[in-house]
Amino acid sequence: MVESIKRIVEPYQDSYSPNGIIGEKDACGVGFIANVRGIASNWILKQSLKGLNCMEHRGGCGGDSDSGDGAGILCSIPWEYIDQEMNLENKQDLDKGLGMVFMPNNKEKIEECKSICEEEAEKLKVNKTSWRTVPVKNEILGPLAKANAPFISQWILFIDKNNNQDIEKLLFQLRKRIEKKIRETFQNHFGDCEFYFASLSSQTVVYKGMVRSEILSEFYQDLKEESFKVSFSVYHRRFSTNTLPKWPLAQPMRFLGHNGEINTLLGNINWAKASETHINDFWGELSNEIKPIVDINKSDSSNLDATLEINIRSGQPITDSLLKLVPEAFRDQPELEQREDIKAFYEYSASIQEAWDGPALLVFADGNFVGATLDRNGLRPARYSITNDGFVIMGSETGVVELEEERVIEKGRLGPGQMLAVDFHQNRILRNWDVKSEAAQRHDYKNLLNNRTIKIENNEWVKDCKLKDLELLQQQTAYGFSAEDNDLILDSMASLAKEPTYCMGDDIPLAVLSSKPHILYDYFKQRFAQVTNPPIDPLREKLVMSLEMHLGERCTPFEIKDPKPFVHLQSPILNEEELISIKKSKIKSQTISSLFNIEEGVQGLENQLKAICKESELSIKEGCSLIIISDKGINPKKTFIPPLLAVGAIHHYLLKKEIRLKASLIIETGQCWSTHHLACLIGYGASAVCPWLTFEAGRHWLKH
């Protein structure tokens, strides 16, 4: 218990305060240093390590006060140093790759892991390989870090040069094959640590660990050598938030260092799994080797890094990939008014790729580019300096790298959604609009959108009541409305045109512990209270929020081909006339009833649930891209499957069948009358909701 409390409190203690008063701290410290001309030097490494040391206060520490949450650097491979250390011949006819490998600290398992690596490399026709034990000092680690410390080795691979061969793609394929074979062999039963590639590339290498900032270069002896020269370095000090510290979860990852957290993680992982069908189309026979991409057991940063990786290995620049994955708020953005091509790029990307929402400062590198970008809210600091001798220094805090003022020719900071990058191929600095303009000009996105987009014209509201007062009361009772819902929620929304507000405290028992009957939504209230960020109102925060939705088959994010039409909605809430218009659009739709006979009881519900899942699958195979799930028509003999249960079941059924992205789910339901209900339905798979009974109740409210 004491160690747990220390772990929570200690990272927040102000080391500069004599009385240890808790000060304002931000999560994680991150930055990069790069030479625009690509000239390698030991100065870059030394300054990166100094910058890392200056951000120790941003990192978390274990209960032993000595085992850090993680620190590391991602840098260019110092081939001269590696060649000297291993007496390697520099053969012009061979490409080289370098892997940084964490292995179980057990001699037998180490040899078995190496053997698997060698076997898989041979299958992919790697010319030859060599192993190097990385010199480390385990004795300086904290007790917790030492108990979990892996055996760390570098793996050098020699590959015949082939003009048509993408060596990074080959190494990616090799890594995924090895990881899969390791999982099959050991079933992840490694004990205190696991097999893990910190990096496997011909351009970048990662030195990281479960250490404090100042310990990193003491632990890795390589980092103290003057001949260790790099042209860029990304550094990161971790404060663990949503996972416990582990060696593999230290940052930087293989491509990025992340300050913040991904608040849309669960939804992003589910949609990323659905997108694996696009991997099949693009990668063909290799797809089974490289899947799965994301892993729910890994951290948010690790999963974002993996999603970024599959985009890069599918042929997209790292800058373009991050603009799609973490887009800026491009609606109502004054600076984008004259940049229609960039707006078209963002809008097209939104139709094929779900956004990973921060708060996030992402510092990235793949050997071709190094840079940084902020998410749409820009809630993380990102400051940079550019010198007259070609260096770009960026960090989450200013002053962590010492620079003579006369060398600095430009200082600045990134704003919300902005990006700064260094292009090593053309030895240039790419400012925000440079990066985005180049991404937008790779294809004619405006024409692609015009050919795909269907806009719903008929959005008139029905003004006449369709039910009598008694009929409305009967329907509301059947769908679970209470008098409190009518008085507090519907009345507030109808009279004030906004959701009701309550006091901070909530003394209602959790649904699972309550003696009162509850509707299904109530069991998911806690899912929306895990992060302490304040709620954001999309109407009053429209500069950074959007409620837009795209209905229809989702196209592949990996290439531009055969664009399918989609319906563009300004809001996921549909009125009755809009739903009719969607049914009449050129996108084929199918309405599926979720009603079942009351007499059949639980068995009837279960059978109907299976039936609507199967009917959804058949509809998609017949070319439907819109599945409308309706619970209209209840009577004394028929009741409905709760819409949240129906949408969740269909969503996961179609995921397993690998056809989820072939269609969007629309819910036409009487059981949706609060923002929480709507959020649950959208969160569990729906793309649009028509809460017809709530609209009918609103018409009755106006009449009376």
List the 196-201 sheet strands across, edge first.
128-133, 151-160, 94-103, 196-201
Return the closest-CA partner of residue 28 out of 343, 316, 348, 358: 358
Q: Which two tokens stand for residue 269?
A: 């992982």
Distance (Å, rounded) from C-alpha 359 to C-alpha 379?
A: 6
28 is catalytic: yes
- The helix/strand/coil state of 107 is helix
User: Strand (E) positions, 604-700?
Assistant: 626-630, 638-640, 664-668, 686-690
Nearest to 697 by CA among 474, 410, 510, 449: 474
Q: How far apart are CA 86 and CA 155, in angstroms?
A: 11
Phi, psi at 95, each rounded to 5° = -85, 155
Distances from the Cα of 699 to the Cα of 494, 522, 668, 695, 696, angstroms: 9, 26, 18, 6, 5
Assess contact for 420 and 386: CB atoms under 8 A.
no
End-to-end CA separation in angstroms for the chain? 59
Backbone angles phi, psi at 78, to 5 degrees: -80, 75
- Catalytic residue (one of 28, 61, 624, 680): 28
Task: Name the β-bridge partners of 395.
Answer: 31, 383
Residues in the chain, total: 704
Burial (CB count <10 Å: 0-12, 13-18, 19+), residue 364: buried
Whole-number Å distance between alpha carbons of 170 and 175: 9
List strand residue ranges (DSSP E) for 456-582, in order.
549-551, 566-569
- Tokens representing 102 are 């964490």
Residue 441's SS3 state is: coil
* Residue linked to tokens 């659009």: 585
Pairing of β 71-76 and β 232-237: antiparallel
Phi, psi of 271 (to 5 degrees): -70, -35
Helix axes 265-274, 643-656, angle to 10 degrees: 40
Listed in sequence order, the DSSP H helices in 430-488 are 432-440, 445-452, 469-479, 483-484
Q: Residue 365 corresponds to which tokens in the numbers above?
A: 């590198």
Cα–Cα distance for residue pair 631/640, rounded to 1 Å: 6
Cβ neighbours for 546, distance < 8 A, ≥ 6 positions apart: 329, 331, 538
* DSSP H or E segment with residue 236: strand 232-237
**Nearest of 399, 466, 527, 484 to residue 693 by alpha carbon:** 466
In our burial notation (b when 16+ CB lie closer than 10 A, e otherwise), range 413-447 reads ebebbbbbbbbbeeeebbebebbbeebbeeeebbe
CA atoms within 13 A on the CB side of 690: 25
| Burial class for 369, CB neighbours closer than 10 Å (0-12, 13-18, 19+) | buried
CA–CA separation, 114 and 112 (whole Å):
5
**Residue 593 and residue 631 in contact, taking contact as beta carbons nearer than 8 Å:** yes
Q: Please state, as a whole number, how many other Cβ atoms lie within 10 Å of the Cβ of residue 209.
A: 26
Q: How is residue 689 written in tokens?
A: 């909701």
List the catalytic residues. Answer: 28
